[in-house]
């Protein structure tokens, strides 16, 4: 369904995010027929260039980042027609009047701040000073939303000085992933799981976001953040919220966000003994064609860095539903495989009627695969076929979206596509509210302060492994095991 005509201004239009995600994502929505003829996308950045040069730039990004099936030169040319460019100085006055003249009073107005948070205030002020921001205009801001509670509060205050909360769209792109949204569908559109979804029946939950990439060219940013700030405070926290939250009364932005906020507030402080940090080592080339992979310290150019590229921790949600059920979270770079999943391990039945089955007994596990090969897998016990008595075996009830839904299941839009269209539709359900972000930092800050005070180095781990040894211990000592990363 096409959205209404809009003017979308992308600040930072020549930057990395705009090149890899925003422009290609908008093109894909155009290709899908969701962007109407009357829409306009205006790039704005410091770089001096004219419209043809920007169109050239945009075409290159689309060529590079859009898959072959959607790569249609005629469609790309038609898409480029709705693009425009204004060189603008966020810290000065150049370009603002030109931008104002380009915007149409009747179209929905959205401003994407695809720039560092240091510029948020300057952009917000100038949008107002130049009469560009209307009361219905929307702004989109990216993570990192601060680096601790104090800076997040300051950013919220800066934005609040110019915009209402209903106008502010804080992106956590994990919420735009199709399977992440599916968590809500699975939980609240089926009666099967919800009655068992609590401490009485769930033994523990594992949330894994494993990556194979290193920090690459982002060393300068990453080394100031680490996995805790870069991934746990936002993406893993959001996944945890969707798993742990109470059913909202309606699928409505504030109803959903109220419930997520309650989960974050119920998170208990994490003792330092329940957290493991790691740093990846380099990898020597094996064959003549392979090249050496640098380790973390080399990647960030600081042999003394104590920043973690891996973190595993045990969290508890202290409320009626979850009291006593551990949530084990882990994420890291340069691990064995790129895989993100949530595994809910249920408790054993209270009594076994199968005398001989005890040894082969396995708990039911519901695995929700977020990426790749999006789908779900429920591990169940059945009778092993054959005349050898009543022996039990665990088998998977496996569903991949690609198989279940055919083409629709494989053609999953990128998270950014969904989120940008939600901005135009004015739907904030999949965006973080200011209080949510602050609560997330309030939980994360003492954890980070704790390990910074200890000052110890993260444990080294081999590139291509499943993380540092101590992370295994985190679960072993509770008599549990991580699922394999593969
Ligand atoms: C970003 C982090 O928010 O998410 C990156 O800054 C990380 O470090 C990325 O690589 C992971 O996103 P995805 O969609 O590839 O799982």
Cα-based distances in Å from 24 to 77, 82, 180, 322, 431 = 13, 14, 21, 41, 21
Residue owning the nearest CA to atom 2 of ligand 1: 230
The response to whether 173 counts as a known ligand-binding position is: yes
Distance CA 340, CA 207 (A): 8
d(CA 142, ligand 1 centre) in Å:
12
Closest CA to 59 of 32, 26, 29: 26
d(CA 386, ligand 1 centre) in Å:
47
| pLDDT tens figures, 162-197 | 999 999 999 999 999 988 888 999 999 999 999 999
What is the per-residue DSSP string for 345-365? EEPPPS--S-GGGGGG----E
ipTM for this prediction: 0.99
d(CA 92, ligand 1 centre) in Å:
32
Contact 317, 325 (CB under 8 A): yes
**Higher pLDDT, residue 144 or 233:** 233
> What's the average model confidence in pLDDT over 278-293?
81
Q: Which two tokens stand for residue 129?
A: 């000073």
Distance CA 180, CA 486 (A): 20
Cα-flanking dihedrals φ and ψ of residue 337, to 5°?
Answer: -150, 160
Residue owning the nearest CA to atom 9 of ligand 1: 231
- The verdict on the CB of residue 211 being under 6 Å from ligand 1 is yes
Confidence of residue 54 (pLDDT cuts 50, 70, 90): very high
Catalytic residue among 162, 235, 250, 351: 235
Instruction: Report the pLDDT value the prediction gives residue 64, as an integer from 0 to 100.
Output: 93
The response to whether 333 counts as a known ligand-binding position is: yes
Instruction: Report the pLDDT value the prediction gives residue 277, as an integer from 0 to 100.
Output: 98
SS3 377: strand
Strand bridging mode 392-400 / 375-383? antiparallel
Contact 111, 136 (CB under 8 A): no
**Average pLDDT score, the chain:** 93
**Ligand 1: which of 174, 211, 220, 437 to mutate, judged by most atoms within 8 Å of the beta carbon?**
211
| pLDDT tens figures, 106-145 | 999 999 999 988 899 999 999 999 999 999 999 999 988 9
415 CA: nearest ligand 1 atom: 14
The response to whether 177 counts as a known ligand-binding position is: yes
Indicate the pTM of the whole model: 0.94
Closest CA to 380 of 341, 348, 342, 340: 348
Residue owning the nearest CA to atom 15 of ligand 1: 211
| Residues contacting 21, CB < 8 A, separation 6+ | 65, 173, 414, 416
Instruction: Report the pLDDT value the prediction gives residue 357, as an integer from 0 to 100.
Output: 55
Residues 22, 24, 27, CA angle at the centre, nearest 5°? 105
Residue 278 has pLDDT above 90, yes or no: yes
| pLDDT tens figures, 67-84 | 777 778 899 999 999 999
- The verdict on the CB of residue 438 being under 6 Å from ligand 1 is no
Active site residue 65: no
Q: How many CB atoms lie within 10 A of CB 107?
A: 15
């Amino acid at each position: 369904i096409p959205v209404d005509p809009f003017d979308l201004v992308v600040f930072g239009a020549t930057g990395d995010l705009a090149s890899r995600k925003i422009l290609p994502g908008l093109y894909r929505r155009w290709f899908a027929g969701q962007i109407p003829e009357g829409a306009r996308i205006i790039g704005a950045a410091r770089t001096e260039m004219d419209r043809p040069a920007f169109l050239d730039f945009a075409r290159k990004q689309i060529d590079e980042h859009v898959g072959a099936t959607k790569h249609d030169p005629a469609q790309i040319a038609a898409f480029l027609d709705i693009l425009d460019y204004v060189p603008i100085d966020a810290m000065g006055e150049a370009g603002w009047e030109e931008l104002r003249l380009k915007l149409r009073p009747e179209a929905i107005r959205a401003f994407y701040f695809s720039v560092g948070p240091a510029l948020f205030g300057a952009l917000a002020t100038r949008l107002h000073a130049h009469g560009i921001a209307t009361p219905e205009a929307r702004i989109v801001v990216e993570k990192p939303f601060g680096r601790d509670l104090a800076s997040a509060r300051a950013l919220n205050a800066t934005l609040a000085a110019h915009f209402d909360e209903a106008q502010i769209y804080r992106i956590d792109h994990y919420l735009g992933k199709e399977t992440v949204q599916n968590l809500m569908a699975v939980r609240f559109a089926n009666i099967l799981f919800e009655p068992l979804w609590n401490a009485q029946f769930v033994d523990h939950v594992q949330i894994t976001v494993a990556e194979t990439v290193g920090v690459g060219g982002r060393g300068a940013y990453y080394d100031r953040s680490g996995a805790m700030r870069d991934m746990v405070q936002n993406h893993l926290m959001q996944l945890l919220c969707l798993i742990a939250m109470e059913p909202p009364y309606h699928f409505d932005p504030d109803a959903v966000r109220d419930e997520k906020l309650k989960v974050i507030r119920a998170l208990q402080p994490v003792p330092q003994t329940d957290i493991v940090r790691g740093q990846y080592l380099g990898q020597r080339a094996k064959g003549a064609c392979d090249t050496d992979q640098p380790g973390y310290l080399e990647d960030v150019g600081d042999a003394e860095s104590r920043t973690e590229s891996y973190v595993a921790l045990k969290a508890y949600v202290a409320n009626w539903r979850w009291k006593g059920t551990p949530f084990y979270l882990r994420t890291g770079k340069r691990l064995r495989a790129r895989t993100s999943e949530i595994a809910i391990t249920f408790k054993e039945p209270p009594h076994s009627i199968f005398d001989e089955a005890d040894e082969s007994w396995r708990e039911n596990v519901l695995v929700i695969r977020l990426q790749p090969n999006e789908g779900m897998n429920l591990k169940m016990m059945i009778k092993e076929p054959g005349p050898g008595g009543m022996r039990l075996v665990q088998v998977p009830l496996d569903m991949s979206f690609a198989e279940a839904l055919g083409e629709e299941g494989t053609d999953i839009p990128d998270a950014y596509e969904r989120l940008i269209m939600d901005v135009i539709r004015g739907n904030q359900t999949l965006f973080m509210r200011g209080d949510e972000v602050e609560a997330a930092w309030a939980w994360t800050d003492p954890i980070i302060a704790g390990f910074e005070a200890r000052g110890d180095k993260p444990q080294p781990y081999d590139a291509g492994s499943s993380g540092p040894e101590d992370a295994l211990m985190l679960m072993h000592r509770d008599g549990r095991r991580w699922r394999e990363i593969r």
